[in-house]
Amino acid sequence: MRHFLRPGWILLFLLCSLRGRSQDSASIYVNQILQPSADSVRTNAIHRLVALRDPSTFPLLMAINDKKLYLLDNKAVTTDSKPSGDGNYRLYTVYPTYQLLQNSSGQPLLLPPGKLTAVDIPRADRLALVGIAPLLNLFSNDVQKRMLAYSQVGNLQDQSTLQLVAAAVNRETDENVQRIGREALYAARLYAAKDETNAKVYIDSIALNWSDNAATLLTSYSKEKAFSPAAGSYALAKASRLEKKYDNLQRIQNLFSGLSLGSILILIALGLSIVYGLAGIINMAHGEFMMIGAYTTYCMQLVFGHQAGDWFYVAALPLSFISAGIMGLILERLVIRHLYSKPLESLLATWGISLILVQTARLIFGDLTAVKTPQLLAGGWQVAPHLTLPYNRIFIIVLTLVMVLLTYLMLFKTKLGLQIRAVTQNRQMSACLGVETRQVAALTFFIGSGLAGLAGCAITLIGNVVPDMGQTYIVDSFLVVVTGGVGKLAGTIVSGLGIGFFTKISEAFFQAVYGKVFILLFIMLFMQYKPKGLFPDKGRIAEE
Amino acid sequence: MKTNNKPLYYILFVAIFAILLPAAYLSGLLSINTISIWGRYFCFAIAALGIDLIWGYTGILSMCQAFFFCLGSYGIAMHLVLQKTSLPDFMAWNKITELPFFWQPFHNAGVTFALCLIIPALFAFFIGYVLFRSRIRGVYMAIITQALTLAMWLLFLRNETNLGGTNGLTDFKTLLGFDLSSAQVKLSLYLVSFAVLCLAYIACHRITRSKFGKVLQAIRDSESRVSFTAYKTANFKLAVFVLAALLAAVGGMLYLPQTGIITPGRMDVKASVEMVMWVALGGRGNLKGAVIGALLVNFLYSLCTSWFPDSWLFILGFLFVLTVLYFDKGLIGLVATVRQRIPGLHFKTSQTTNRYVADSK
Amino acid sequence: MLLTVNNLSVSFGGVHALHLDHFSLGEKELRVIIGPNGAGKSTFLDIICGKTKADSGEVIFKGKPVLGKSEVQIAELGIGRKFQKPSVFPELTVYDNLLLAVKTKKDIFSTLFFKVSPAIAERIHDVAARLQLNTVIYKQAGALSHGQKQWLEIAIVMLQDPTLMLIDEPAAGMSDEETEKTGALLLELANTHSIIVIEHDMKFVEQIANHLVTVLVRGKRLMEGTFEEVKNDQRVIDCYLGRTNAQLETL
């Protein structure tokens, strides 16, 4: 909080208090624009307002510039640039204050433009605004435009411009844009500063404010515009510290991406590993169960439509598990049960199945479909100025955690789990002891495929839904299984996270592709020491 | 080998492809494109022989044969590109002014041919050395080689690797001074491919019948028994892996001038599994099966894609499943079972399956 | 001593599979190892032939350490192994199975250009005849009966001509007549080779145990002595008559 008392802020308050003087004349001109006695009066009024550069008139000028100035009950209003549903727009008053209009129940007032009386301003008059367009954009209701405007406002050593920028920063609602604006102000003061203490104060302010551009700005200041070598080196030191901090945050961001990628790999590989351990099946169609899960999510979106909001995703979570699981069951009955303990044969047969499923999906859904991210998961958790952890990735990680936990409980705390582990270790013996190995295998297949389906549902949050999406993940998830040791929960988790992290970290150093080659070499070397994965079986069961 | 004492099939096979097809072209019954397409199938069959050696005979499922095939093709392609221009177009687009160092040797035809064999062999040697030393086998081997192919595919897709990226290398004019678009050159390439296929078959046949070949089959049956009988199985596996890589590379080398294009698509996951499937379909552990499988699947492919394009993947998928589930030994095995079941139909079956069996030379 | 073993130990997942303080075998000695299930008999042979890695201890064969060597190196030293579960090449003919076993140069080039000499062919047929495999010599090994497979594997070990043969349960799945034949063959082989035999069948053990019998229990050596001594030892009888389970449970 300390930095709020810095001179930059004091300056801002000073500038704002200057506003009152032009108020009276501005309101006259505004009236002349809204109800002109003659065209020439209006033209004159607009030119006057442009020259005045009174921030309070800017929303009005913006509305004129955008051709969005309307009258509602004799009040001047403007609308959002985009409708807020069904062609209705939110309304804002433009003068003397810029405010969202509300209906009696406190909800935003929504109206179609047709119900409003447009105030027609001739093109010639609007052209008067071209010169101050960047300044106007500082007050736009479009965040992107405002952000861009700060880089276009021009020389801030000009007092009137500085005043406007200060006013804009003051009323700014978006944190990131405000940061950019503040930086522009600080920079202006820094360039103007003529003594060491002042300069250092502004350098500190810029560093504390810490926009994307801060390090570059300080570096260029130290090289070109610094009034003394001491100030220059001070700025440079600050810049390099910022850069280091930024790199560290970037690293955390990478680790986080690695964590979420690893989570997805774990979700896919979990089923793969259990099924392989239990039945000796290399299921190349496992990725297609993921695809089925993703398309289930897509279908839910279609079924629920726009109205239902996020509910489609809530429904999709269990349904993607069930639909992929049922598909898995069907395949198990039709094909895969003939291939138990023949891994290489099953690899080829399931690849055939995979081809069929992919082609079927392509014929039904076409080549590219996307699921929109649920509202609740849009955006992210801003941990620090340059560290945002997207909610969708957090969700994926939590989902994986829950599923891993459930799988653990299923494997180690239920009778089914006991049977699964028994069949995994010794099929014949389990059968002799009265375990219905076929039923156990079928159930395992259901669960394994279901987990893949769930992974598919999760993937829709971060990627497109395409028919051959499964094939992009299948090789990676097999690597996870192989590295972790077949049928090993802990191995799958460790190697899934390891490969996820490693991929993202190596992507930071090399490009994505080289990262992949690197991982592969690493795994090959790793297997020199641990040919049966991280957690191999020992003793008699290890044979075969 | 059961039909080994029936040279008739071999004679028929040679007669059809070495005399009948060229004759049909010369008399105007077949277009030169059809001839050229079959020439390409022969290249696939050569690679399939290698897959049969490594998988069918030795029991090692290698999924990187497609990669070796592409190495052969890319080598020749680089030479052909340099025949035409000193700096390939795509490099100019990527603002590269100087030919990368690894392109330099491909100016010379002799060096190119040598490199096309040496590079895949070295790759195979390195991969095999690392994998076999750590006793990676079975499924693990399949998955790791598949991942390797995937990684290489990704590398070849990149523009930075200077191999033409997604578009690959194409638009060739001459090979050793011969115009690649001329019908005569195409026919010659067809005949050369066929001759190489025959030679490769004979060589593989010799190998499989030698004691070396028996060791390979013994490794497939029980690798530990072979070790305890004092054979260094890793060396044998490495040898056959390199041999298979060489066969794939030779196939790739001959394939390129006949298609006129090579893209990374030839070595994606689909392509590499499909190559294994040729052998599974024809009948693994049987050289005739490998050749028949490669020819038949590719022939089917060209039929299907022109008649019902959407259905090819369905057909291929079902073929995969059916073959694995019901015809474990592939077509060759199927023919053998049919013959055993119906001895009275012996003559008739051999006639109806003539086309397939005869293919096996 | 041909083979000396000291303080050999191996454990799987925390369970001691074998903990052998001492074991030694002389030239041309036939030693029988008996013991209840899980006594570590097969594990012992697995360690000697290089299939399983020991945790600690030493195995000296012909004055050379064996531990840490690969299966091939151990086989080249002159140790041959027949497994409990017959391990032959099912898709090769009996003749090819035997051909691969014959002691010749076994590198890639020699095998690639290998020609069967009359001497080798004769040896193969000779061994096949001794094990009554001559009638099935061109059959696929996978098509043989269980007993024939056992014999085929013994034949493979014989053709390797090792100094030490490790024979794991040779009589399993054989008829009485076949068992007796196997016993006679082992006794005959013992004139020229050192042999360790693992066996459960006491009648068979009695037939072949012309020297010492070692009893292993729970990975440890319980006792060593002639068949008569072993047969009458109270601890051995206990082990084989049910008290084993009670003892195991208390552990």
Q: What pLDDT is attached to residue B72? A: 92
pLDDT at B250 over 80: yes
Domain ranges of chain B: 2-359
Can you read off the two tokens belonging to residue B63? 């999924």
pLDDT at A218 over 80: no
pLDDT at B252 over 80: yes
The pLDDT tens digits for A110-120 are 888 788 888 88
Q: What pLDDT is attached to residue C132? A: 82
Chain C residues with CB-CB distance to B215 below 8 A: 100, 111
DSSP bridge partners of A389: A381
Q: Is the dihedral of CA A510, A513, A514, A518 positive or negative?
A: positive
Which range of A143-157, B14-28, C212-226 scores highest in mean pLDDT? It is C212-226
Subunits in contact with chain C (3 or more CB pairs closer than 8 Å): A, B
Domain ranges of chain A: 1-66+123-211, 68-120, 266-473
Chain A to chain B Cβ contacts (< 8 Å): 121
Cβ <8 Å between A528 and B139: no
Work out the minimum CA distance from B219 to partner chain C, whole angstroms: 8
pLDDT at B169 over 60: yes
Integer Rg of chain C from CA:
19
Q: What pLDDT is attached to residue B203? A: 92
Q: Give the 3-state secondary structure of residue A73.
A: coil
Q: Which residue of A has its CA nearest to B55?
A: A344
Q: What average pLDDT does the segment C120-147 reach?
A: 84
The pLDDT tens digits for A405-423 are 998 888 888 888 888 888 7
Cβ <8 Å between C108 and B224: no
Tell me how far apart the alpha carbons of residues C164 and C3 are, in angstroms, rounded to a whole number: 9
Q: Does B229 touch chain C (CB under 8 A)?
A: yes
Nearest to A222 by CA among A199, A242, A244: A199
Chain A residues with CB-CB distance to C12 below 8 A: 538-540
Among partner residues B143, B148, B273, which is closest to A351 by beta-carbon distance?
B273
The strand pair at B261-262 and C79-82 is best described as unpaired
Tell me how far apart the alpha carbons of residues A97 and A101 are, in angstroms, rounded to a whole number: 11
Cβ <8 Å between B140 and A482: yes
Among partner residues A352, A478, A529, which is closest to B317 by beta-carbon distance?
A352
Q: What pLDDT is attached to residue B360? A: 37
pLDDT at A505 over 80: no
Tell me how far apart the alpha carbons of residues A40 and A466 are, in angstroms, rounded to a whole number: 60
Among partner residues B133, B269, B320, which is closest to A348 by beta-carbon distance?
B320
Q: Which residue of A has its CA nearest to C18?
A: A539
Tell me how far apart the alpha carbons of residues B113 and B99 are, in angstroms, rounded to a whole number: 20
Cβ <8 Å between A347 and B158: no
Say if residue C183 is exposed, middle or buried (CB neighbours under 10 Å; 0-12, 13-18, 19+): buried
Average pLDDT of every residue of chain A: 79
Q: What average pLDDT does the segment B245-257 reach?
A: 92
Confidence band of A511 (pLDDT split at 50, 70, 90)? low
Q: Does A194 touch chain C (CB under 8 A)?
A: no
Chain C residues with CB-CB distance to A488 below 8 A: none
Which structural domains are found in chain C, ordered by start?
Answer: 26-250 (3.40.50.300)
Q: Does C89 touch chain B (CB under 8 A)?
A: yes
Chain B residues with CB-CB distance to A516 below 8 A: 150-151, 154
Chain A residues with CB-CB distance to B136 below 8 A: 527, 531
- Which ipTM did the prediction report? 0.83
Subunits in contact with chain B (3 or more CB pairs closer than 8 Å): A, C
Q: Does C249 touch chain B (CB under 8 A)?
A: no
Chain B residues with CB-CB distance to C101 below 8 A: 229
Confidence band of B243 (pLDDT split at 50, 70, 90)? very high
Q: Which residue of C has its CA nearest to A536?
A: C13
Chain A residues with CB-CB distance to B153 below 8 A: none
Work out the minimum CA distance from B266 to partner chain A, whole angstroms: 16
Tell me how far apart the alpha carbons of residues B31 and C152 are, in angstroms, rounded to a whole number: 58
Q: Does A531 touch chain C (CB under 8 A)?
A: no
Confidence band of A62 (pLDDT split at 50, 70, 90)? confident
Work out the minimum CA distance from C91 to partner chain B, whole angstroms: 7
Integer Rg of chain A from CA:
32
Number of Cα atoms under 13 Å in the Cβ half of residue C229: 12
Q: Does C78 touch chain B (CB under 8 A)?
A: no
Q: What pLDDT is attached to residue B1? A: 40
Work out the minimum CA distance from B316 to partner chain A, whole angstroms: 7
Chain B residues with CB-CB distance to C144 below 8 A: none
Cβ <8 Å between A478 and B147: yes
Confidence band of A63 (pLDDT split at 50, 70, 90)? confident
Share of chain B above pLDDT 70, in %: 93
Measured from the Cβ of residue C130, the count of other Cβ atoms closer than 10 Å reads: 17
pLDDT at B44 over 90: yes
Q: What pLDDT is attached to residue A155? A: 67
Q: What pLDDT is attached to residue B349? A: 39
Tell me how far apart the alpha carbons of residues B128 and B236 are, in angstroms, rounded to a whole number: 10
C-alpha distance from residue C6 to each of A202, C20, C38, C66, C82 (Å):
79, 7, 20, 12, 23
The pLDDT tens digits for C82-104 are 888 878 888 888 888 888 888 87
A433: enclosing H helix or E strand: none
Among partner residues B211, B217, B228, which is closest to C75 by beta-carbon distance?
B228
Tell me how far apart the alpha carbons of residues A392 and A398 are, in angstroms, rounded to a whole number: 10
Q: Does B231 touch chain C (CB under 8 A)?
A: yes
Among partner residues A276, A474, A527, which is closest to B136 by beta-carbon distance?
A527
The strand pair at C79-82 and C164-168 is best described as parallel
Tell me how far apart the alpha carbons of residues A146 and A130 are, in angstroms, rounded to a whole number: 16
Say if residue A458 is exposed, middle or buried (CB neighbours under 10 Å; 0-12, 13-18, 19+): buried
Work out the minimum CA distance from A537 to partner chain C, whole angstroms: 8
pLDDT at B67 over 70: yes
Cβ <8 Å between B218 and C100: yes
Average pLDDT of every residue of chain C: 82
Confidence band of A530 (pLDDT split at 50, 70, 90)? confident
Convert A379-405 to b/e letters by CB count within 10 Å (16 or more is b). Answer: eeeeeebbbebbbbbbbbbebbeebbe
Tell me how far apart the alpha carbons of residues A298 and A515 are, in angstroms, rounded to a whole number: 31
Tell me how far apart the alpha carbons of residues B121 and B127 are, in angstroms, rounded to a whole number: 10
Q: What average pLDDT does the segment A498-510 reach?
A: 76
Q: What pLDDT is attached to residue A154? A: 66
- Residues A251, A253, A258: CA angle, nearest 5 degrees: 95
Q: What pLDDT is attached to residue A487? A: 67
Interface test with A, best of C37, C52, C84 (most A CBs within 10 A): C52
Q: What pLDDT is attached to residue A460? A: 86
Q: Is the dihedral of CA C123, C126, C127, C128 positive or negative?
A: positive
Q: What pLDDT is attached to residue B357? A: 36
Alpha helices in A38-85 (DSSP H): 39-52, 58-65
C-alpha distance from residue A268 to each of A12, A472, C204 (Å):
55, 12, 54
Q: What average pLDDT does the segment A218-224 reach?
A: 76
Lowest mean pLDDT among A36-40, A503-507, C7-11: A503-507
Chain B residues with CB-CB distance to C89 below 8 A: 217-218, 221-222, 225
pLDDT at A4 over 80: no
Q: What pLDDT is attached to residue B125? A: 94
C-alpha distance from residue A232 to each of A157, A485, B141 (Å):
20, 57, 60
Cβ <8 Å between C13 and A540: no
Q: What average pLDDT does the segment B2-11 reach?
A: 64
- Residues B122, A510, B115: CA angle, nearest 5 degrees: 20
pLDDT at B346 over 60: no
Chain A residues with CB-CB distance to B320 below 8 A: 348-349, 351-353, 355
Question: Regarding predicted confidence, which is higher, A165 or A396?
Answer: A396
Chain C residues with CB-CB distance to A538 below 8 A: 12-13
Q: What pLDDT is attached to residue A5? A: 47
Q: Does C150 touch chain B (CB under 8 A)?
A: no
Confidence band of C11 (pLDDT split at 50, 70, 90)? confident
Q: What pLDDT is attached to residue A156? A: 66
Share of chain A above pLDDT 70, in %: 89
Cβ <8 Å between C87 and B224: yes
Work out the minimum CA distance from A474 to partner chain B, whole angstroms: 10
Confidence band of B121 (pLDDT split at 50, 70, 90)? very high
Q: Does C80 touch chain B (CB under 8 A)?
A: yes
The pLDDT tens digits for B172-192 are 777 777 777 787 888 888 889
Q: What average pLDDT does the segment C181-191 reach?
A: 86
The pLDDT tens digits for B255-264 are 988 888 888 8
Work out the minimum CA distance from A296 to partner chain B, whole angstroms: 22
Q: Does C181 touch chain B (CB under 8 A)?
A: no
- Chain Cα centroid distance, residue C157: 9
Chain C residues with CB-CB distance to B236 below 8 A: 108, 111
